[in-house]
Amino acid sequence: MNKFEYVNASSVKSATEQLQSDGSVRIKAGGIDILDELKERTINPKRLVNIKTVGGLKEIKEVKDSLHIGTLVTLSELASNKQVKTLFPALAEAALGAATPQIRNVATIGGNICQRPRCWYYRSEEFSCLKKGGNECHAHLGDNRFHAIFGNDKCAMVHPSATAVALVALQAKLKIEDTKGHRIVEIDNFFVKPEENAKAENILKPTEIITEVILAKPAVGSRNFYIKLKEKQSFDWPMADVAVAMEMAGGVCKAARVVLGAAAPVPWRAVAVEKALVGKKVDASVAEEVSRLAIEGAKPMSHNGYKLKVFETIVARALSVVASGDFSSKEGF
């Protein structure tokens, strides 16, 4: 890695004041992904601004009908927080399934959402790809077993964040700050597809920081859940994951969000499934039937056709769990 300056910020203001529009100054929270990027030489910043020294960003607060999660809340804290576990099991589960206990103890929610792709072409110095200013996506002609089955025409990366999948299902909002003030962004408008900007995965400017994740408490009768498939049982990004949030009345689905992870360059809403669920009394057989719609429009590549079957399966399982409300039975699958 290159040599860089390291400074501790005392406030959001002092942190944002140091940021540069050319990206030469980087925010460091838990330091997990940024350290990887430094070591892999995908970035060469002049300065790292440590925001772990900033007060007030580590709390999970209840504000009226919402939960405000500070950007520095760690994955461990999310996974063990009583309110998160009760109201947003999908998020708790996504946080718990990430990385290892040691990493979860330092990795933050803000950093998790903003982590860069795990695509092995992007991470390797040997390959210059669209994300790094090159002119091709090597996954199209190379080994693409972990790549996208949706939205993969240009860059076939998959978004690596598991918590992002849950947060899209839960319709989170993000509080983003810079020197001029703050804005609140719907998470649906946060992630960007490669067609819009191949070099970034979201709308965050180099001069901005996410300071809070805001979740509205779910309506009565709502349930949410998350399932992740991985190759090894610890320290692994999703091979495929899904988050489901459903609002129900008398067993009938009123509204649903079904979001696929590791499927596309952004957390991918299975809109056809969401629509098909509305008005249905969801049980295991309905879950299986509608799960087939999850892969509608998919364009698998040469090595990732298996993902079609896998997504159908985990969507069906997640819907069954949500419909039954029996979260303990997930081990039975």
Partner 1 sequence: MTVGQSVNRKEGRDKVTGAAKYVDDYHFQDIWYGKTVRSTVAHAQITGIEFLAGFDWSTVVLADYRDITSRNIVALIYDDQPLLAESLVRHVYEPILLIAAPTKELAELAAKHVHITYKKLPAVLTIEDSLSAEQKIFGDDNVFKSYTVTRGNVEDAFQSAEVVVEETYHVGHQEQLYIETNGIIATAKSDGTILIQGSMQCPYYVHRAIKELFGLPDEKVVVVQNVTGGGFGGKEEFPSVVAGHAALLAKKCGHPVKIVYERGEDFVASTKRHPAVIRHRTGLTRDGRLIAAEIDLTFDGGAYCTLSPVVLSRGVIHALGPYKCPNIRVTGKVVATNTPPNGAFRGFGVPQACFASEMHMENISRKLDISPVELRRKNMLHQGDYTLTGQQLTYSVGTQQVLDAVLERSDYLARRSHKQPELSNKRYGIGLSFYYHGGGFTGSGEEKIKGQAAVELTAEGTVRILTASTEIGQGTRTIFSQIVAQELGLRPEDVEFEENDTSKVPDSGPTVASRTCMVVGRVVQMAAASLKEEMAKRIASLAQCQASEIQFEGRHLLWQKDGEIISVSFAEAAERCMSRTGFLKTTAQYSSPPGIKWDDVTYSGDAYPVYAYAADVVEVEVDMDTFEVKILKVTTATDVGKAINPTLAEGQIEGGTVQALGYGLFEEVAWKDGKILNNRLTNYIIPTSLDIPDMETVLIENPYPYGPYGAKGIGELPMDGGAPALVAAIADAVGAVVTEIPATPERIMEAMEKLAVEA
Binding residues (CB under 8 A) for partner 1: these are 2-3, 36, 39-40, 100, 118, 120-121, 123-124, 126-127, 138, 142-143, 145-146, 229, 231-237, 306, 309-310, 313-314, 332-333
CB of 122 to partner 1, least distance (A): 11
Residue 138 C-beta: closest distance to partner 1, Å: 7
Q: For residue 161, how many C-alpha atoms fall within 13 Å in the half-sphere facing its CB?
A: 27
Distances (CA, A) of 10 to 15, 17, 59, 115, 265: 7, 11, 16, 23, 34
* Other CB atoms within 10 A of residue 42 CB: 15
Toward partner 1, which CB reaches closer, 197 or 302?
302
Bridge pairing between strands 5-8 and 173-178: unpaired
Helix (H, G, I), strand (E, B) or coil at 6: strand
SS (H, E, C) 36-99: HHHHCCCCCCCEEEECCCCCCCCCEEEECCEEEEECCCEHHHHHHCHHHHHHCHHHHHHHHCCC
Q: Strands 25-28 and 47-50, how do they pair?
A: parallel
Nearer to partner 1, 145 or 217 (CB): 145
Tell me the residue type at 124.
Answer: S
Least distance between partner 1 and beta carbon 148 (Å): 16
DSSP-derived letter for residue 163 is H
Name the burial class of residue 196, with classes exposed (0-12), middle (13-18) and buried (19+) by CB atoms within 10 angstroms of its CB.
Answer: exposed
**Could you give the angle at the alpha carbon of 242 between the alpha carbons of 74 and 253, nearest 5°?**
115
CB of 309 vs partner 1, minimal distance in Å = 7
Q: How far is the CB of 310 from partner 1 (least distance, A)?
A: 6
Query: Exposed/middle/buried for 3, CB within 10 Å: 0-12, 13-18, 19+?
Result: exposed
Nearer CB in complex with partner 1: 70/160: 160
**Neighbouring C-beta atoms of residue 187, cutoff 10 Å:** 21
- Closer to partner 1 by CB, 65 or 306: give it: 306
- Rank residues 26 and 118 by Cβ distance to partner 1 and give the closer one: 118
Q: Measured from the CB atom, is 147 or 257 closer to partner 1?
A: 147
CB-wise, 197 or 234, nearer to partner 1?
234
- Residue closer to partner 1, measured from CB, 127 or 221: 127
Closest C-alpha to 79, from 52, 107, 113: 107
What is the nearest approach in angstroms of partner 1 to the Cβ of residue 182? 34
